[in-house]
Amino acid sequence: MDLKKLFLKADNELESSEKRIRSRKITCKKCQNTSPVKKIRKNYFVCPECGYYFPVRARRRILMLTDNRSFIEHDRDMASRNILDFPEYEEKLTAAKDKSRENEGVITGVAQIGGHKTCIFAMDGNFMMGSMGAVVGEKITRLFEYATTQSLPVIGVTVSGGARMQEGMISLMQMSKVSAAVKRHSDKGGLYIVLLTNPTTGGVDASFAMLGDITLAEPGARVGFAGPRVVEKTLKTALPDGFQKAERVMECGFIDAIVPRHEQKDYLERLLRLHEASREVSM
């Protein structure tokens, strides 16, 4: 299929899903105010009334961060199998596909941001809570390998509950697999920027989410390794205010900057521009 057709296909698919929601209104989880979807979308999926950050699906996320019609997807058809014969896994995969309208929990590909070519991946919280199984690990690994051979940066948007239990140790091993690919990309001088979104936890936090050259986060995003209830059980009292919130994690030294949604594309464009400039100077 040629590129033009690919773009058209992507546009049409987006269009039809947009139509379905265009007339709808959404009630904010936080302030209970109801706003038209159109208004919320214009406001980068932030509640116009109270500033609450609505979760954003992966495809929308990439659209928000990249130049119009510049995204070319990789490995779109890759889908998970129930390798371990884990109970109820097929049903969960089917439900996740319906809910997310995606084949798996991450979308990967190449795009331009302000004219700068970059690899990009975005995880999808609607697909089994963005959990990482073999396909998620494989797609991200392939993207880093592609970026390494093409000398391209990688931008990653994370949202994840961690490793996917239904794939047992195969999913845990994806942490090792992706981390090794990130290292190879880095050793070749590749730039990797992470944007942490709510929530980024467990095995994803303990691997590629924490391995960026530059680590950004959305305001209020929960970022951490252990689940809050588990930590509470260790502590035997309530958790301190702001625990595992991006702002606190930044105070602790693990995040470079908190970037509000409407500034994210410009912010990434600036980072890509600055790195491109330094590469030219060194040549």
Partner 1 sequence: MMTDIEIVRAARSEKRKTARDYIDGCFTDLTEFSGDRLYGDDRAIIGGIGLLQDMPVTVIGIEKGKNTEDRILHNFGSAHPEGYRKALRLMKQAEKFHRPVICFVDTAGAFPDVESEERGQGRAIAENLYEMSTLKTPVLSIIIGEGGSGGALALSHADRIWMLEDAYYSVVSPESCSNILWKTLDKADVAARALGLTADKLYSLGIIDRICKDKALQEFAADIYGQIKELMSVPTDRLLDERYKKFRSIGYI
Sketch the per residue contact string, 2 through 41, with partner 1: x for CB under 8 A, - otherwise.
----------------------------------------
Distance CA 260, CA 49 (A): 16
* Contact between 88 and partner 1 per CB under 8 A: yes
Minimum CB separation from Zn ion for residue 44, in Å? 14
Are the beta carbons of 246 and 196 closer than 8 angstroms?
A: yes
Work out what residue 50 binds among partner 1, Zn ion, none; the CB cut-off runs from 5 to 8 Å by kind.
Zn ion
**# of chain residues touching Zn ion (CB under 5 A):** 7
Work out what residue 23 binds among Zn ion, partner 1, none; the CB cut-off runs from 5 to 8 Å by kind.
none
Work out what residue 40 binds among partner 1, Zn ion, none; the CB cut-off runs from 5 to 8 Å by kind.
none
Are the beta carbons of 128 and 96 closer than 8 angstroms?
A: yes
Work out what residue 52 binds among partner 1, Zn ion, none; the CB cut-off runs from 5 to 8 Å by kind.
Zn ion
User: Residue-wise over 50-80: b if at least 16 C-beta within 10 A, else e?
Assistant: eebbbbbbbbbbbbbbbbebbbebebeebeb
- Residues 37-66 touching Zn ion, rule: CB under 5 A, are 47, 49-50, 52
Work out what residue 254 binds among partner 1, Zn ion, none; the CB cut-off runs from 5 to 8 Å by kind.
partner 1
Token digits of residue 166: 């239904």
Distance CA 35, CA 112 (A): 31
Distance CA 46, CA 41 (A): 8
Are the beta carbons of 87 and 70 closer than 8 angstroms?
A: no
Site stretch for partner 1 (CB under 8 A), options 16-24, 109-117, 160-168, 264-272: 160-168
* Contact between 31 and Zn ion per CB under 5 A: yes
Catalog residues that contact Zn ion under the rule CB under 5 A. Answer: 28, 30-31, 47, 49-50, 52
